[in-house]
Amino acid sequence: MSDELESGGEGLLSPPHTHQRTILHLDADCFYAQVEMVRQPELRDKPLGIKQKNLVVTCNYVARSQGVKKCMWLKEAMEVLPELVLVDGSDLTHYRHFSTQISGVAQSLTHRVERLSLDENFIDVTDLVDEYMNATGSSDIEGHVFGDKEPVSMDLVDPCGCGCRERLVAGSLVAKQLREQILKETGITVCAGIAHNKLLAKLVSGYHKPNQQTVVFPWQVHNVMNSLPAARSIPGIGSTTFSILKDLGISTVQELQDVPLKLLRTKFDSETCSRLKEVSNGIDETSVKKSGKAQSVGLEDAFTKVNSVAEVKVKYQILLERLLKLLKEDGRVPVSIRVSVRKFDLAKRFGHRETRQTSIPSSLFPDGVNNVGENTRSSLMKTVMGLFQKMVDTSKDFHLTLVGVAFNKLIERVREGKDISSFFGKRTREETTETLMSYYHREGRFMGERRGRGERGRGASNFYYDRRVDNHGEDVFLVGKPREYRQDPPIVQPLGVIGCFSVDEDRTFGHDRTLLKFIEPQYLTREGKTKVNIDLNRGWGKNSPYTAMGENSSLNLYQWILNNSETLVDSDDTPTRLDVDFICMRRCLIQIMKMPYNVKERWAMQAEYFRGTIYLVCYASPEDLEQRKSEPPYMKKIAMWGHKFEQIMTGGDPDEGVCANEEFRCVLKVKVDNFSCLLAPEVDCADPELFEEDFKDLSSFITVKCNREVDTADAFKVECFRKFMLNKWWAQNKLSGIPRVVVGFRTEEGQIYRLENYDTDELPTLAKGLWEPRVSLNILTSFLAFVKKMIMEAPEAVHRFERQSPIVIRHSIVPSVRGAAEGPIKVLPDWYREQLFSPLDQE
Ligand code: DCP
Ligand code: MG
Ligand code: MG
C-alpha cells in the first residue's frame, strides 16, 4: 500500500457507511503569518510574508489580496509586491507552541482530537452534538453550507432522515463556539469544515476563507467530490498513488469512481483498491485518532547544492544538535531515527527524496534526553552517516538539495526492566501457577477474594500501572492497563471448521482425521469431581517423545492450505486471494490475549504479507531454541504426563507407550471483530455422543489438561491458578469454540485421583476479579489492527513484533531473510509462495 494512504484499517473493515458521526476539521488561517502577527501586532495591517530560505511559505491575507501567494519564490513575491514585509520563519519553535495551544483548546472540549499537521486538527464531536441537541433542541445553522455563497436558513430539504441534518447543524454551533474559544485563548483565527466523516470535513474546511466555516450534508457528497479538479485533490491520494492512477488512465475523480476494480487490482492490493474506491465516493470510516504528543520531531535543511561528504556531515551535525534541543523540550526518548536526502537529477531537472531509518538502542539514552553525552552524540552521528551512505553512493558524483534528520518514534521513558523477575520475588516460579478448583465449588469463593486488592503486588502491579500508556508511538504498541480494554467486547466467534489434518508419529502430514480421539464417556461427569485412579507412569519406557519444534505446526497448516486453496479463495472475482485476513497459530493470539494480565511473559512474533493475507507466526530466537533443548528433565516428564493423560482419557492402553508427536488439528476460520483468522488448533478429543462427521463447529470437542494438584490453603497459589491457567484455558477454548475442558489433578509423583469438568463459559466466573474476557478480546483486536497497520506500511517486508517489557511491544522490520534457509526465522516458506495459486497464475 502506498504510504500516503492512511492505513488505519477501520475504513475498510467497518460496517455499513452511516452518518452517525459529526467531525470537525480545523485549519488555521495563514498560520505562520498569524503567529507572527500575534507576536508583533504592528504587523497586522501590513502585507506580511514568512520566508524560509528563498521561498515565501505563507503570507497574510493583506498580502494575498495584493497578489502574493503561498509558496511563491521570494524573488517573485517581491516583484509582485515590493512593500511585502518579511519575517524569517525558519525557527519553528513559536509555531509549534501555538499549534499545541490550539489543539489544547480543542482537547479541553473532548479528548477525541487528532492533530493532522501544525495547523490542522480533526475533532470528533459526536458526543458533544448529542448533548447539545438534548440541551437546546433544534436551532439555526452557523456559517456556510457547501454550495452556497451565503449563510442559508434551515428550510433545506433533508432527503436522508437519519438525523444527520440536525447533528450537523448542532455540529456547526459547536464549531463556531470552538473557533471563538481558540481565538480568545490564542489570538488565532481558524476555518472549520463540518461533516459526517474526516474526508469531507477536510475537503470543505477551506471552502470559505479566512475565519469562516462550512457544513456539508451527506446528500451533497457527490457534488463535493466531483467539484475537485483531479483525483490528486482527494486527501490520501498522494503523488505516488496519483501517478500510478494516471498510468491506468485515471485522473479525474469521476474516472476513479468508474474504473473497474479489476483494473485497479493490477496495480494495488485489494485494500488500497477499496480504499481508493471509497474515498473517490466520499466514504471514509476512519476514526479520529486521539493524538498525544507529536509522533516525531524532525528538522530539514534545503539548499541548491551540496556535493561533498564533508559538507553533508556538517549539515547533519547542525541538524542533530538542534534536534537534540527539541528532544529535550519534548522529554520523550526516541526509539528510531530517520535520515532523509533529496537527490537532484540533472537530466530530469527534478529532485526526489529518499529516507532510511533504523532503531536506536535505548542504552544510548541511559538518563533520558536531558543530558545527552558526547558518546551518544557521536554514536548518533555515526548512525546518521551510515544511513546516509546507504542512500548515496559517495564514490560517485552526487548532488543533494536537502538533508533531514528526524526522531520518528518517541516513547515516554519506560523504566527499563532491571530484571522484571525481581519484582515478583519468589512468585516467578512456574510451578506456583497451579491450584485447585474444587475449593471454589465447596466454598463458593476463593481465599484470595477476601483480601483487599491493594494488599498484594505492590512491586509487580505498580511497576506495571505507573507507566504512561497514552502515547501510541508509531511502531511501538503499548499494552494498556486492563481497565483500558473494558469497552464492549468485539465479536469473537468461530465461523466454521473447514477441514482437519492429522500428523503422525513421524510428523508426517495426513489429510484426514485418523488421529482424532474420543474421550471415554465415564470421564465426562458434569457434576463436581470424578474420583479416578490413574498412574501416569505406566508404560513409561515405551513412550516416544515430541521431536518437532512448535513452529513447524504452521508448515502443516500451509500444506493443508495448498491442498485446499479453492475452498478458501475470496470469490470468482479475485481467485488469487484467500478469504482471510490473518493466518496464524492459535498460540500467537493467546499470547496477545494474555498480555494485560501477564506482565512476565516475553515473546516475539514474525509476520509477512502475501496476496492479501497476513501470516503471523511465533518466533523462537536461536537462544530460545537452545534453551528448549536444554530443558530440565522434569519439564519433559511433565509434558509426557500430559500426553499420557490424554492417552488414558481417550481409552488408550496405559501400558502401551504414548507418542507425543501425534496430533489432530482442525482448520478453523474465526471472526475476531472485523478480521477473519484462519487457525489450526490442536484438538485433544471429541465427545463420541455429540460428534458428527460433517461438523461445522467444535462443539463436540473437549480440551484435556493435566495440572498439578494444589494446596488450597495457599491463597497465592489459588490466585495464580485462577489468574493464569484459567485465563489460558479460556482463551484457547474461546478462540476455537471448544465448549469444555476436563482437568486431571496430579500429584508430584504423577498420580491422578480426581478429575474436574468445566464449561469454557464458566471459567471467567471462576476467575472473577482477576481477569475479564472483554479485556483479552479488546486487546487482541487492537493488536491485530496494529499489526495490520504496520504491515500495510511495508507489505514487502518481514515484520517482527517483540514484547520487550510488560508494556512495550516493539515493531521492527527484519532485514531481508527471503531466500534464507527454511527455519523459524522465515514466515512463509518458498514452496508455499511458489505453489499457492500457481496454476491460476500461469493462465
Ligand atoms: N507551510 C510550509 N511549507 C509549505 C506549506 C505550509 O512551511 N510548503 C507552513 C506555513 C503555513 C503552515 O504550514 O502557515 C500551514 O499550512 P497551510 O497550508 O494551512 O497554509 P496557511 O495556514 O498558511 O494558509 P491558509 O489560510 O490557506 O490555511
Ligand atoms: Mg492553514
Ligand atoms: Mg493547513
User: pLDDT by residue (tens digit) across 438-462?
Assistant: 334 333 333 333 322 332 222 222 2
Q: Give the long-range contacts of residues 182-186, CB within 8 A, separation 24 or more.
A: 182/26, 182/102, 182/105, 182/106, 185/101, 185/105, 186/38, 186/98, 186/101, 186/102, 186/105
In the chain, CATH 3.30.70.270 sits at 16-226
Which architecture characterizes domain 296-424 according to CATH?
Answer: 2-Layer Sandwich (3.30)
Closest among 235, 271, 198, 264 to 23, alpha carbons compared: 198
Q: Can you tell me the distance from the alpha carbon of 452 to that of 436, in angstroms, rounded to the nearest whole number?
A: 21
* CB-ligand 1 contact for 210 (6 Å cutoff): yes
Q: Which atom of ligand 1 is nearest to the CA of 28?
A: 22
Q: Is the pLDDT of residue 159 over 90?
A: no
Is the pLDDT higher at 67 or at 476? 67
DSSP for 598-646 reads: -SS---EEEEEEETTEEEEEE---HHHHHHHHT--HHHHHHHHHHHHHH
* CB-ligand 1 contact for 829 (6 Å cutoff): no
pLDDT digit string, tens, across residues 682-706: 999 999 888 887 777 888 999 999 9
Instruction: Compute the distance from residue 289 Cα to the ligand 3 centre, in Å.
Output: 18
User: What is the CB-side half-sphere exposure of residue 745 using CA atoms within 13 A?
Assistant: 19
Instruction: Compute the distance from residue 69 Cα to the ligand 3 centre, in Å.
Output: 15
Which of 38-47, 70-79, 709-718 comes out lowest in average pLDDT?
Answer: 709-718
pLDDT at 787: 93
* CB-ligand 1 contact for 646 (6 Å cutoff): no
Task: Return the best residue to mutate from 51, 57, 71 for the ligand 1 pocket (most ligand atoms within 8 A of CB).
Answer: 57
Atom 9 of ligand 1, residue of closest alpha carbon: 57
Active-site annotation holds for 120: yes
Atom 2 of ligand 1, residue of closest alpha carbon: 57
pLDDT at 586: 92
Mean pLDDT of 228-244: 90
Q: Is the pLDDT of residue 334 over 50?
A: yes
Instruction: Compute the distance from residue 280 Cα to the ligand 2 centre, in Å.
Output: 24
* CB-ligand 1 contact for 29 (6 Å cutoff): yes
Q: Which atom of ligand 1 is nearest to the CA of 34?
A: 14
* CB-ligand 1 contact for 581 (6 Å cutoff): no
Q: Is the pLDDT of residue 3 over 80?
A: no
Q: Which atom of ligand 1 is nearest to the CA of 119?
A: 15
* CB-ligand 1 contact for 673 (6 Å cutoff): no
User: What is the CB-side half-sphere exposure of residue 237 using CA atoms within 13 A?
Assistant: 27
Kindly report the average pLDDT of the chain as a whole number.
82
Mean pLDDT of 338-345: 87
Instruction: Compute the distance from residue 118 Cα to the ligand 3 centre, in Å.
Output: 7
Instruction: Compute the distance from residue 27 Cα to the ligand 2 centre, in Å.
Output: 5
Q: Which three cell numbers stand for residue 719?
A: 490466585
* CB-ligand 1 contact for 71 (6 Å cutoff): yes
Q: Is the pLDDT of residue 468 over 70?
A: no
Q: Which three cell numbers stand for residue 395?
A: 564514490
* CB-ligand 1 contact for 697 (6 Å cutoff): no
* CB-ligand 1 contact for 30 (6 Å cutoff): yes
Q: Can you tell me the distance from the alpha carbon of 167 to that of 177, in angstroms, rounded to the nearest whole number?
A: 15
91-95, 467-471, 640-644, 824-828: which has the highest mean pLDDT?
640-644
Report the predicted TM-score, pTM, of the whole model to 2 decimal places: 0.48
Atom 12 of ligand 1, residue of closest alpha carbon: 31
Atom 23 of ligand 1, residue of closest alpha carbon: 30
* CB-ligand 1 contact for 92 (6 Å cutoff): no
Tell me the percentage of the chain whose pLDDT exceeds 90. 46
pLDDT at 294: 62
Atom 18 of ligand 1, residue of closest alpha carbon: 30
Scanning the structure block, which residue is given the C-alpha cell 456547526?
Answer: 172
Closest ligand relative to 32 C-alpha = 1
pLDDT at 711: 79
User: What is the CB-side half-sphere exposure of residue 699 using CA atoms within 13 A?
Assistant: 10
Instruction: Compute the distance from residue 50 Cα to the ligand 2 centre, in Å.
Output: 13
- Annotated active-site residue in 36, 114, 120, 608: 120
The fold of 16-226 is: Alpha-Beta Plaits (3.30.70)
Q: Can you tell me the distance from the alpha carbon of 103 to that of 97, in angstroms, rounded to the nearest whole number?
A: 10
* CB-ligand 1 contact for 58 (6 Å cutoff): yes
Closest ligand relative to 70 C-alpha = 1
Q: Is the pLDDT of residue 495 over 80?
A: yes
If one counts every other C-beta atom within 10 angstroms of the C-beta of residue 796, the result is 10
Closest ligand relative to 29 C-alpha = 1
Q: Which atom of ligand 1 is nearest to the CA of 29?
A: 26
pLDDT digit string, tens, across residues 560-585: 898 888 778 766 555 678 889 999 99
pLDDT at 182: 94
In the chain, CATH 3.30.1490.100 sits at 296-424
* CB-ligand 1 contact for 28 (6 Å cutoff): yes
pLDDT at 138: 67
pLDDT digit string, tens, across residues 270-320: 888 999 999 999 999 999 988 766 667 888 888 888 999 999 999 999 999
Task: Return the best residue to mutate from 118, 119, 202, 299 for the ligand 1 pocket (most ligand atoms within 8 A of CB).
Answer: 119
Q: How confident is the model at residue 469 (pLDDT cuts 50, 70, 90)?
A: very low
